[in-house]
């Protein structure tokens, strides 16, 4: 058959197929069918060599023209597919920027954290700073340096969790008082610190006891500090924490690391009427305190003729229970949102 005629037929056939192709894949297949190494145009071009000298340039030009035309046609179609699939993608990924955003649920600080911050803030306002120490503590810092040598009976005031630690006497600190020692061993007076932290006791959990709870320790050391400074400081603290109308009361007590020592009460919210919380007494015990025992100063190398100081220690859960009327200490650790969300 005449090659020119073949080329014309091929052109018609290609046009029909290419213009009805439904996908990029179909177009690629058509490209192979017509223009590939074994494609129909290629086959025709191969036959041109056998033609006569007059026909060669005519058929050759025609074949090249059809090939170029086919290439452009396929490219053009492909481009259209690409463009419309891009437009579809744009449409399907459309983001409505006028939609109001989702507001993330805000958490809150646990009541114990809030109470620690409240207490610490009051002392920061007086010029105190915050110190911290380890929860795994040495027997030396927890007891010996606090005027309780080994076998001293006062150690039994704390139900201690001792750790198995060959060569070292380690325990879980029973109070935050060992941080007094750690700070005084490092720093020279004046010292005004508060020490928040967890403490551990070998206790069974009930409505007022837990084996883990929080304390805040205070220590003030300088020249000329007296018991009057202790009273004034704790009265200021109590009124800030519990209300400006509150009074404080000091009862004589005993702690190995203070002399004299006191237990400190704040007047109850019932204003002396007598209620269930204060068990009719009109007073709530909030902390232990006293003047730093000179033996403690000796232990850390402070001159106890030159310096005096006071210290105090309070239970954070107890303070929070009194301030917010919480009747069971276990509520702080139950993680029940119905309780926690009230604060
Ligand atoms: N560390 C004592 C306790 O846990 C509390 C305490 C009492 C701390 C008197 C003091 C203090 O610093 O002076 O029972």
Please state, in angstroms and rounded to a whole number, the distance separating the CA atoms of residues 72 and 70. Answer: 5
Name the pairing type of β-strands 283-292 and 258-267: antiparallel
User: Mutate which of 312, 314, 315, 319 to test ligand 1's pocket (most atoms within 8 Å of Cβ)?
Assistant: 312
Q: Which fold has domain 111-340?
A: BirA Bifunctional Protein; domain 2 (3.30.930)
Ligand 1 mean position, distance from CA 199 (Å): 12
Tokens of 120: 């610490």
Between 218 and 39, residue with greater pLDDT: 218
Tokens of 272: 């002396």
Q: Does residue 288's CB lie within 6 angstroms of at least one atom of ligand 1?
A: yes
Between 143 and 53, residue with greater pLDDT: 143
From the alpha carbon of 176, which atom of ligand 1 is closest? 1
> pLDDT exceeding 90 applies to what percent of the chain?
56
Ligand 1 mean position, distance from CA 256 (Å): 9
| pLDDT tier, 48 (very low <50, low <70, confident <90, very high otherwise) | confident
Ligand 1 mean position, distance from CA 113 (Å): 20
Could you tell me if 32 and 18 are in contact, meaning their C-beta atoms sit under 8 angstroms apart? no
From the alpha carbon of 314, which atom of ligand 1 is closest? 5
From the alpha carbon of 310, which atom of ligand 1 is closest? 13
Q: Does residue 200's CB lie within 6 angstroms of at least one atom of ligand 1?
A: no
Ligand 1 mean position, distance from CA 176 (Å): 8
Query: If you average pLDDT over residues 10-37, what whole number do you get?
Result: 88
Query: If you average pLDDT over residues 48-72, what whole number do you get?
Result: 87
* pLDDT higher than 90, residue 338: yes
Q: Return the residue whose CA atom lies nearest to atom 7 of ligand 1.
A: 288
Residue 310: partners with Cβ closer than 8 Å, 6 or more residues away? 218, 219, 220, 225, 227, 229, 230, 233, 258, 289, 290, 291, 292
Between 86 and 219, residue with greater pLDDT: 219
pLDDT at 101: 86
Ligand 1 mean position, distance from CA 88 (Å): 73
**Where are the CATH 3.30.930.10 domain residues in the chain?**
111-340
Q: Return the residue whose CA atom lies nearest to atom 6 of ligand 1.
A: 313
Q: Does residue 177's CB lie within 6 angstroms of at least one atom of ligand 1?
A: yes
Residue 42 burial class via C-beta count within 10 angstroms: exposed 0-12, middle 13-18, buried 19 and up: middle
Ligand 1 mean position, distance from CA 265 (Å): 14
Residue 80: partners with Cβ closer than 8 Å, 6 or more residues away? none
> pLDDT exceeding 70 applies to what percent of the chain?
100
Q: Return the residue whose CA atom lies nearest to atom 8 of ligand 1.
A: 313
Closest CA to 184 of 301, 78, 290, 288: 301
pLDDT tens track for 109-160: 999 999 999 999 999 999 999 999 999 999 999 999 999 999 998 888 889 9
3-class state of residue 272 by DSSP: coil
| Continuous H helices in the chain | 3-20, 24-35, 40-47, 55-92, 111-124, 139-142, 178-186, 227-242, 294-300, 316-324, 331-334, 337-340
Query: Which one of 41-50, 56-65, 179-188, 317-326 scores highest in mean pLDDT?
Result: 179-188
Ligand 1 mean position, distance from CA 299 (Å): 18
From the alpha carbon of 218, which atom of ligand 1 is closest? 12
* pLDDT higher than 60, residue 298: yes
Q: Does residue 217's CB lie within 6 angstroms of at least one atom of ligand 1?
A: yes
User: Mutate which of 201, 288, 315 to test ligand 1's pocket (most atoms within 8 Å of Cβ)?
Assistant: 288
* pLDDT higher than 80, residue 254: yes
- Model-level pTM? 0.71
Query: If you average pLDDT over residues 287-302, what whole number do you get?
Result: 98
User: Mutate which of 289, 296, 315 to test ligand 1's pocket (most atoms within 8 Å of Cβ)?
Assistant: 289
* pLDDT higher than 60, residue 1: no
Q: Which residue has the tokens 């192979």?
A: 32
Mean pLDDT, the chain, integer: 92
């Amino acid at each position: 058959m005449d090659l020119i005629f073949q080329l014309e037929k091929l052109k018609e056939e290609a046009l029909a197929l290419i213009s009805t192709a439904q996908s990029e894949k179909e177009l690629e297949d058509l490209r192979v069918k017509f223009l590939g190494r074994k494609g129909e145009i290629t086959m025709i071009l191969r036959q041109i060599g056998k033609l006569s000298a007059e026909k060669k340039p005519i058929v050759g030009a025609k074949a090249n023209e059809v090939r170029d035309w086919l290439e452009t046609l396929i490219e053009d179609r492909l481009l259209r597919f690409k463009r419309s699939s891009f437009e579809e993608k744009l449409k399907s990924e459309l983001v409505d920027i006028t939609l109001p955003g989702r507001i993330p649920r805000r958490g809150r600080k646990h009541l114990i954290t809030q109470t620690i911050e409240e207490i610490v803030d009051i002392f920061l306002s007086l010029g105190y700073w915050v110190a911290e120490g380890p929860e795994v503590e040495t027997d030396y810092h927890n007891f010996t340096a606090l005027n309780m040598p080994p076998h001293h009976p006062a150690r039994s005031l704390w139900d201690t969790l001792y750790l198995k630690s060959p060569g070292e006497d380690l325990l879980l600190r029973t109070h935050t008082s060992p941080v007094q020692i750690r700070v005084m061993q490092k720093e020279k007076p004046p010292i005004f610190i508060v020490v928040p932290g967890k403490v551990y006791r070998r206790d069974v959990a009930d409505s007022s006891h837990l084996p883990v709870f929080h304390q805040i320790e205070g220590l003030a050391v300088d020249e000329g500090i007296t018991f009057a400074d202790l009273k004034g400081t704790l009265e200021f603290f109590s009124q800030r924490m519990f209300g400006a109308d509150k009074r404080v009361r000091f009862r004589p007590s005993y702690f190995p690391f203070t002399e004299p020592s006191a237990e400190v009460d704040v007047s109850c919210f019932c204003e002396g009427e007598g209620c269930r919380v204060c068990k009719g007494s009109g007073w709530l015990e909030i902390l232990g305190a006293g003047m730093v025992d000179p033996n403690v100063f000796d232990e850390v190398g402070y001159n106890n003729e030159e310096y005096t100081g006071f210290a105090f220690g309070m239970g954070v859960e107890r303070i929070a229970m009194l301030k917010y009327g919480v009747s069971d200490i276990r509520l702080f650790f139950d993680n029940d949102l119905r309780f926690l969300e009230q604060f």
